[in-house]
Amino acid sequence: MRRLRAGIVGGGRGAFIGAVHRIAAELDGQALVVAGAMSADAATARSSAEAWYLERSYDSYAAMAQAEAARSDGIDFVIVATPNHMHYPVARAFLEAGIHVVCDKPLAFAVTEAEQLVALVGSGKPLFALTHNYTGYPAVREARALVKNGALGELRKLLVEYNQDWLMTPLEQTGNKQAQWRTDPARAGVSCCVGDIGSHAENLLEFISGQHITALCADLTSFVAGRRLDDDANILLRLSGGAKGTLVCSQVACGEENALSIRLYGSKGGLEWRQQEPNTLLFKPPGAAWQNLRTGKHFSDPAAQAATRTPAGHPEGYLEAFAMIYRDFIADLRRVQRGEPPQRNYPGVHDGLRGLRFIERSVESSRRGAIWLDL
């Protein structure tokens, strides 16, 4: 037993998500980030590694994968925290080197790349986790258990929204690094809003409901003049269990910060959860008072209890939810090291492939006049 060694690619100076990954990976004391290739610019990579006090810094991810695989004290897993267009080549390099991977979403730049990663993971031993971090909230685990145990009955209608306002002006034209790559088709892919936050909404809906999206009808818009990718989307959904749904996401919704919410309605009850009030799950029985299901209680579902770090009444936040992906992933890594099968209680390559198909079909549906398309 020892603390696991992690490496990171991307996430250097000026990036937001790199520090989030590091905190989440190290939060439970099970791993320590010791190596990195933190930028495509060598000087930035070195200065970023120095700021994090990393033991080893590399000028390229390819050199890092080769060197770390050859070391007796090499990294156990790598964190991929690059813009979208680099997810596939970086993940592939480390998987082929026999190193486990935790990758930021979306899985890849395009479906064809995602399919190759699915095949690569399926043919080898390395584990692969995708950081759809909202699945890590205790209330989300509770909601999933309630649906699975039949508390809602037959699911009929699902509504999920993810609204922000940070791109309501042409921020990418002011030098903002985060806005620049997300609105650039060469780095973000075919979508900005659906790819960036709509994919989280899609994953959350499938995670809680236990159903997969089978068809969609999408209307995507670029409201900001000159923007090359969408900043708003309205999507109708059909799901594998017969439920119907809507997915709304926007990055031009004035006044909204990070308004991710989901409502599920079944034949026996309803559920509602809002990410900005993460400790409360609303259960809505027919003809009776709504129930506030609070996290951290002894009667919560075991999956929700396992995801709870703080006493009842103390907010479980974004970083803790993010860290749940790492906690489950690291537990699997230790199982594999002991010769035991992994449990995979976290999003993986198959979730990522469905997410890429959802993104690409949404764009195609909108371009063809908001028509229904099968996934």
Q: Read off the pLDDT of residues 289-337 as tens digits, 9 standing for 90 and up.
A: 999 999 988 888 898 998 888 888 888 889 999 999 999 999 999 999 9
Least confident of 59-68, 179-188, 199-208, 299-308: 299-308
pLDDT at 370: 98
Cα–Cα distance measured from residue 192 to residue 12, given in angstroms and rounded to the nearest whole number: 21
Say if 323 falls within a structural domain: no
**49 and 86 assigned to the same domain:** yes
Cα–Cα distance measured from residue 238 to residue 4, given in angstroms and rounded to the nearest whole number: 42
pLDDT at 352: 97
**188 and 92 assigned to the same domain:** no
Strand order, beta sheet including 77-81: 56-57, 31-37, 4-10, 77-81, 100-103, 128-130
Residues 235 and 217 sit within 8 Å (Cβ to Cβ): yes
Report, as an integer, the average pLDDT of 16-27. 95
pLDDT at 298: 84
Q: Give residue 44's domain range.
A: 4-126
Percent of the chain surpassing pLDDT 90: 92
pLDDT at 313: 83
**303 and 156 assigned to the same domain:** yes
Give the CATH number of the domain where residue 361 resides.
Answer: 3.30.360.10
**46 and 161 assigned to the same domain:** no
pLDDT at 174: 96
**287 and 180 assigned to the same domain:** yes
**149 and 269 assigned to the same domain:** yes
Residue 110 pLDDT > 90, yes or no?
A: yes
Least confident of 185-199, 209-223, 308-322: 308-322
16 pLDDT tier (thresholds 50, 70, 90): confident
pLDDT at 58: 97
180 pLDDT tier (thresholds 50, 70, 90): very high
pLDDT at 169: 98
Say if 317 falls within a structural domain: no
Report, as an integer, the average pLDDT of 180-196. 97
Report, as an integer, the average pLDDT of 5-28. 95
Look up the pTM and report it.
Answer: 0.94
Say if 321 falls within a structural domain: no
**223 and 367 assigned to the same domain:** yes
**155 and 302 assigned to the same domain:** yes
Alpha-carbon distances of 181 from 86, 191, 221, rounded to whole Å: 12, 11, 18
Q: Angle 3-351-349 (CA atoms, 0-180°, nearest 5)?
A: 55
**48 and 152 assigned to the same domain:** no
**53 and 183 assigned to the same domain:** no
Say if 229 falls within a structural domain: yes
Cα–Cα distance measured from residue 227 to residue 83, given in angstroms and rounded to the nearest whole number: 18
pLDDT at 299: 86
Residues 200 and 105 sit within 8 Å (Cβ to Cβ): yes
Residue after which a domain boundary falls, among 62, 96, 126? 126
**121 and 141 assigned to the same domain:** no
Q: How high does pLDDT run on average in the chain?
A: 96
pLDDT at 1: 82
Give the model confidence (pLDDT) of 85-99 as tens digits.
999 999 999 999 999
Say if 338 falls within a structural domain: no
Report, as an integer, the average pLDDT of 45-61. 96
- Name the domain count of the chain: 2
pLDDT at 316: 81
Residue 115 pLDDT > 90, yes or no?
A: yes
Say if 315 falls within a structural domain: no
Report, as an integer, the average pLDDT of 95-124. 95
Percent of the chain surpassing pLDDT 70: 100
Say if 87 falls within a structural domain: yes
Residue after which a domain boundary falls, among 126, 155, 177? 126
Give the model confidence (pLDDT) of 245-277 as tens digits.
999 999 999 999 999 999 999 999 999 999 999
Residue after which a domain boundary falls, among 105, 126, 147? 126
**149 and 236 assigned to the same domain:** yes
Say if 368 falls within a structural domain: yes
Give the CATH number of the domain where residue 114 resides.
Answer: 3.40.50.720
The residue type of 148 is K
**β-strand 372-374 against 213-221: which pairing, if any?**
antiparallel
> Token pair of 273, please?
């959860």
pLDDT at 310: 83
Q: Angle 128-131-133 (CA atoms, 0-180°, nearest 5)?
A: 145
Residues 117 and 128 sit within 8 Å (Cβ to Cβ): yes
